[in-house]
Structure 1
Amino acid sequence: MALRVACIGGGPGGLFFSTLFKQTVPDADVVLFERNQATDAFGFGVVFSDATLNRINDADPVVRNGLRDFGTHWDDIEVWLKGEQKSFAGNGMAAIYRKTLLKLMQDRAAEVGVDMRFGQYVPDLSQLDDFDVIVGADGANSSTREQLGDSLGHTAETATAKFIWFGTTYKFNGLTFVHRQSEFGNFAVHGYPISDELSTFIVETDEDTWRKAGLDEFDASQPPGPSDLKTQRFLEKLFAEDIAGEPLVANNSRWANFRTRRTRSWHKGNVVLLGDAVHTAHFSVGSGTKMAMEDAIALVREIAAHQDDLELAFTNYEAERQPQVAKIQNQARGGLSWWEHFARYYDAFDPTQFTFHFFSRSIDIDKIRQRDAGLVESVEADWLARHGHTPLETPLSAGSARFSGRLLSLTHQDGQPELTGPGGSLVLVTDPADADAGTGLLLTAPDTEEGLAAAFRQLPAQAAAIVIQGGNPFTRTLLSEEARLGRGLRSVVVDDRGPISALTQILSGRADAVATATTPEATDA
């Protein structure tokens, strides 16, 4: 008897799954249910990096052909701020208008025989009792996931930054990050072309700036449809110079906070989930659609191979995809954090260092150099012009100590911690109450982000330097930046990942110096 498969959700993930399954198991009955009409499409662009498209293209050519015929492609990423434009080459990417992509994928699904039923909402999974497999591909606010209950172990972590999604008739050359400081605070744009007539225009800001600008008046709890027109007018004026006076285009455009979703189990009974329904990663890494489509590839293969043992199929699917998704989410956390603090970086850095800080948030200087040697040369030349020395050989004063370089060591003599290095040493204390201008404070970073608030409270008003050990690279960096950029203190990060990591941290302004640990209690996490 032919397998009956229901897919709830007609976005790229659901359409790709349905198409692939019908191709793989031609005698299966595949029905897709989408609550919206076929011509409805919220949002603007969908982005794919060249490096991540191979698996999707091998499964089905619909995305490759769509990007070729209707998409836009670029190699450089640009950062605009303070009257300057900086670029980072070697980042091949392509984008397509979401509405165009959905139409192409709908046509492809129809071509292979998927039964698509638009305008049909499935509020109760019992309506689908006559299906052998139910796939929930209904997005971040998945009704399917909610109906399966708490046993899935689903969590959602809400970011502090606010974002809103518009389009604009201005044509960016490629992925462009535009920063503007208003009288209320800082705003930043993720812009990129999606067709010959339109670009995506996502804006982020912090909640305090958002409220000061009076942009908190729109009722975001109302059903999808109306857009925040006050914000649209405000942003058109703020970024008028950057988009040559072109208008913004609204499409269900309203402020929100990004939610990172994680789910322990992706299935229950004969129901299995994919894409945003079980995992999300901040849009700054441009991986949401890619992850959903790669989920679909793995899920199709496993169900097709184990039609008589769905539990095995779903378990195999999770075993393959969960580690891959977790890796992307971990990478995205650094990007999300950067956007939560970008106003601080705007104030602290000149355009060259700001650009390097941005691009080095998830890759080190060597990987940046491989893509764009010219960018690294300009960053190193900028440092040399400001300091008169290369980064690792730049002198550092900390209280009475004067080190002739920035690669230091954390040592312990008879239980007394000390910061040593070329030309000097600094005695460290471990109690913030004992810190003063002549001593350094040794702090241990928390293992998780939740512990950072308590760590921030330990930062003293004065100290020769704050030396940060323990935790992990992410928590150490945030504690270091709070000390250095938020409190005006010298910061030294204890990190045993080698000179390339040290160079990246110092050149980017994440730390004043990096120390290696010579005792077990201060080793890298």
Structure 2
Amino acid sequence: MALRVACIGGGPGGLFFSTLFKQTVPDAEVVLFERNQATDAFGFGVVFSDATLNRINDADPVVRNGLRDFGTHWEDIEVWLKGEQKSFTGNGMAAIYRKTLLKLMQDRAAEVGVDMRFGQYVPDLSQLDDFDLIVGADGANSSTREQLGESLGHTAETATAKFIWFGTTYKFSGLTFVHRQSEFGNFAVHGYPISDDLSTFIVETDEETWRKAGLDEFDASQPPGPSDLKTQRFLEKLFAEDIAGEPLVANNSRWANFRTRRTRSWHKGNVVLLGDAVHTAHFSVGSGTKMAMEDAISLVREVAAHQDDLELAFTNYEAERQPQVAKIQNQARGGLSWWEHFARYYNSFEPTQFTFHFFSRSIDIDKIRQRDPELVASAEQEWLARHGSTPLETPLGAGSVAFTGRQLVVAEQDRKLTLTGPGGSIPLTTDPADADANTGLLLIAPDTEAGLAATFEHLPAEAALVVIQGGNPFTRVLLSEEARLGRGLTSVIVDDQGPASALTLVLSGRADAVAVQGAEATNA
């Protein structure tokens, strides 16, 4: 008997799954339910990096052909701030208007025989009892997931930064990050072209700035549809110079906080979930649609191979996709954190170091150099002009000690902790009360971001320097930046990842110096 498949949700993930399944199992009945009309599309652009498209293109050419015929492509990412424009090349990407992509995918689904039912909401899964397989592809606020209950182990972590999604008739040349400081605080844009006459225009800011600017007055609890026009006018004025006076375009545009969603189990009974319904990653990594479509590829393959054993199909699907998604989410956390703190970086760094700090948030200097040696050269030349030495050979004063380089060693001598390097050594204490102008504090970073606030309380008002170890690379950096950029202290990160990592940490301004422990440094 032919399999009867219901897919809830008509976004890219649901459409791709339905199309692929009908192609792979032609005798199956595939019905897609979408609560909105076929022509409804919230949001603006969808972005794909060149490196991630191969698997999707191999499964079905609809995205490749759509990007070729209706999309835009670029190699450079640009950062605009303080009157300067910096670029990072070697980052091939393409974007397409979401509305255009959905129409192409709907046409493709119809071509292969998917029964698409628009304007049909499924508030109760019992309505679909006569289907053998139910796929929930209904987005981050998935009703399907909610109906399956707490046994899935779903969690959502809310970011502190506020964001709002507009379009603009200004045509950016590629992915562009624009920073502006207003009288209320800092705002930043993720802008990129999605057609010949429209660009995506996502704005982020911190909550304090958002409130000071009076942008918290729109009632975001009302149903989708109305947009925040006060914010639209405010941002059009703030970024007028950057978008040549062009208007912003609203489409259900309202402020929100990004929520990173994780789910332990992606299925229950004959119901399985994909895409944003079970996982999200901050839009700065541009992977949401890609992840949903790759979920669809894996799920189609496994269900087609195990039609008589859906539990096995779902288990194989999760075993393949969950580690891949977790990797992207871990990478995205660093990007999300950067956007939560971008005002601090804007205020602390000049444009070149700011740009290097931004692009090194998830990759080290060697990988950046492979893509764009000129960006690395400009960052190194600016440092040399400012300090007279290369980053790791630049002198560093700490109390009465003047280190002649920035690669140091944490060691125990005569049962006392010290920080040693070329030029001398300085005693360390683990008690913040004992830190002073000639004594450094050794501070243990927490294992998770949730523990940072409590650790910040241990930062002293005065210390020769703060040495940060333990935790993980992410928490060590955030603790170091709080010490260095937030409190004006000299910070040293204990890092054993090698010369490229050490150089990246210092050149980017994440730390003043890098240390290794004991014997590890002898061979460094």
Whether the TM-score (by the shorter chain) exceeds 0.5 is: yes
Name 1:293's counterpart in structure 2: 293
TM-score of the two chains, using structure 2 as the length reference: 0.99
Task: For residue 416 of structure 1, report the CA deviation from its aligned partner.
Answer: 1.4
Corresponding residue for residue 369 of structure 2 = 369
* Residue number in structure 2 paired with 1:464: 464
The one-letter code sitting in structure 1 at the alignment partner of 2:252 is N
Equivalent runs, 1:348-363 vs 2, <5 Å: 348-363=348-363
1:215, distance to aligned residue in structure 2 (A) = 0.1
For residues 305-340 of structure 1, what are the alpha-carbon distances to aligned partners after superposition, in whole Å with 9 as ceiling and x for unaligned?
000000000000000000000000000000000000
Within a 5 Å distance, the mapping from 1:83-482 to structure 2 comes to: 83-482=83-482
Q: Name stretches of at least 5 consecutive residues in structure 2 with no aligned partner.
A: none
- The Cα offsets for residues 322-370 of structure 1, whole Å up to 9 and x where unpaired, read as 0000000000000000000000000000000000000000000000000
Q: Deviations over 1:200-234 (max 9, x none)?
A: 00000000000000000000000000000000000
SS at match of 1:296: helix
Paired residue secondary structure (2:462): coil
Aligned to 1:50: 50
Q: Which amino acid aligns with 2:264?
A: R
Alignment correspondent of 1:23: 23
Deviation, structure 1 residue 423: 1.1
- Residue 487 of structure 2: aligned partner: 487
The code of the aligned residue for 1:209 comes to T
**Aligned counterparts of 2:405 and 2:65: Cα–Cα separation in 1:** 53
**3-state SS of the aligned residue for 2:217?**
coil
Q: Which whole-Å deviations, capped at 9, do the CAs of 1:241-297 have from their partners, x for residues lacking one?
A: 000000000000000000000000000000000000000000000000000000000
Distance in 2 between residues matched to 1:412 and 1:207, nearest whole Å: 44
- Deviation of the 1:126 alpha carbon: 0.1
Q: Counterpart of 2:370 in 1: which secondary structure?
A: helix
In the alignment, the residues of structure 1 paired with residue 71 and residue 315 of structure 2 have an alpha-carbon distance, to the nearest angstrom, of 36
Give the whole-Å Cα distance in 2 for the aligned partners of 1:415 and 1:69. Answer: 69
Q: Which amino acid aligns with 1:232?
A: Q
> Partner residue of 1:517?
517
Q: CA deviation at 1:413?
A: 1.5
AA matched with 1:465: L
Amino acid at match of 2:67: L
Identical positions, percent: 89
The aligned counterpart of 2:501 is 501
* Residues in 2 aligned to 1:275 and 1:518: alpha-carbon distance in whole angstroms: 46
Distance 2:415 2:236 in 1: 60
Per-residue Cα deviation, 1:156-181 (whole angstroms, up to 9, x for no partner) = 00000000000000000000000000
- Cα distance in 1 for residues equivalent to 2:517 and 2:216: 48
By how many angstroms is 1:415 displaced? Answer: 2.8
Q: Distance in 1 between matches of 2:424 and 2:513?
A: 14
Residue 245 of structure 2 aligns to a residue in which SS? coil
Q: CA RMSD in A?
A: 0.9
* 1:35 corresponds to: 35
Q: Give the CA deviation at 1:504.
A: 0.2
Shift of 1:443: 0.3
Q: Kindly provide the CA deviation profile for residues 354-394 of structure 1, in whole angstroms up to 9, marking residues without a partner as x.
A: 00000000000000000000110000000000000000100
Alignment partners' CA distance in 2, 1:468 and 1:417? 13
Q: What SS does the corresponding residue of 2:492 show, helix, strand or coil?
A: strand
**For each residue in 1:420-462, what CA deviation from the matched residue of structure 2 results, as whole angstroms up to 9, or x when unmatched?**
0011101001100111111100000000001000110000000
Could you tell me how far 1:414 is from its partner in structure 2?
A: 3.1
Q: Deviations over 1:76-123 (max 9, x none)?
A: 000000000000000000000000000000000000000000000000
Which amino acid in the other structure matches residue 152 of structure 1? L
Query: What code does the residue aligned with 2:256 have?
Result: A
**Partner letter of residue 19 of structure 2?**
T
Structure 1 gap ranges (5+): none
C-alpha separation in 2, matches of 1:132 and 1:343: 51
Report Cα offsets for 1:38-93 as digits up to 9, x if no partner: 00000000000000000000000000000000000000000000000000000000
Number of residue pairs matched?
521
* SS in structure 1 at match of 2:171: coil
**DSSP 3-state at the match of 1:53:** helix
Cα separation, 1, equivalents of 2:124 and 2:48: 34
User: 1 CA distance for matches of 2:467 and 2:177?
Assistant: 33
